Amino acid sequence: MVAGNFIGGTSVSTCERSLSDDASLIAATLAGDTAAFGRLVALYQDRLYNSLLRVLGSAEDAADIAQDAFVQAYTKLESFRGASAFYTWLYRMAFNLAMSHARRQHMVASLDGMKSLVGDEPMDGQPTAEASVMQQERAELVHAALAELSLDYRQILVLREIECCRYDEIAEILDLPVGTVRSRLFRARLQLRDLLAPRLHVERILDT
């Protein structure tokens, strides 16, 4: 088993990762090189954790589920056939664990939990202090609205809008037909828009 805590340390960007890179690390792991799996963990842990945080609304739960997913991936690695990207396989495992946990706990993400996500929002350029405050307030509104959605809608929005997953990747992660992914995403966007519309309208009035 890989030693140490799976969550923590510095993660490397996956933007330029190739399937062959992952395949070589997986092959090395199966050959007995546990450090190779540690490299996979370092590459994907932050991305997985941040997605789970947005879905679950709890940093502690997100860290626990991410760690459980990596442990499960390690123990089941021989079953990975490379038909999909490693992170897609890993995400499906993690989201299954997250859904089981959430349904077992009847958990609904709170506004306070979602506020912790605001610091992860990308910001372009050098905005003024006033612009930064306004951007943070709008981000809080979006995350608060996201927290009010059902778990099914929340996870599909995170995968599509934040993780930028393709429809076929989402379908594989959630074990759904692509058509269901499209229709569920459409309904999730409508609900999010309906939740945000009155809040953003009030914000615009206060800004005038």
Give per-residue pLDDT as tens, 68-96.
999 999 999 999 988 888 998 998 899 88
For residue 58, the model assigns a pLDDT of 85
Q: How confident is the model at residue 9 (pLDDT cuts 50, 70, 90)?
A: very low
Per-position DSSP letters for 59-122, written without gaps between them: HHHHHHHHHHHHHHHHHTGGG--SSS-HHHHHHHHHHHHHHHHHHHHT----HHHHHTTGGGS-
Residue tagged 């190779």 (tokens):
36
Residue 115 has pLDDT above 60, yes or no: no
Q: Can 1-107 and 108-208 be said to share one CATH topology? A: no
The CATH number of the structural domain formed by 1-107 is 1.10.1740.10
161 in Cβ contact with 155 (< 8 Å)? no
Tell which CATH classification among 3.30.1330.90, 2.60.40.1120, 1.10.3720.10, 1.10.10.10 matches the domain 108-208. Answer: 1.10.10.10
- Domain residue ranges of the chain, discontinuous segments joined by +: 1-107, 108-208
pTM of the model: 0.64
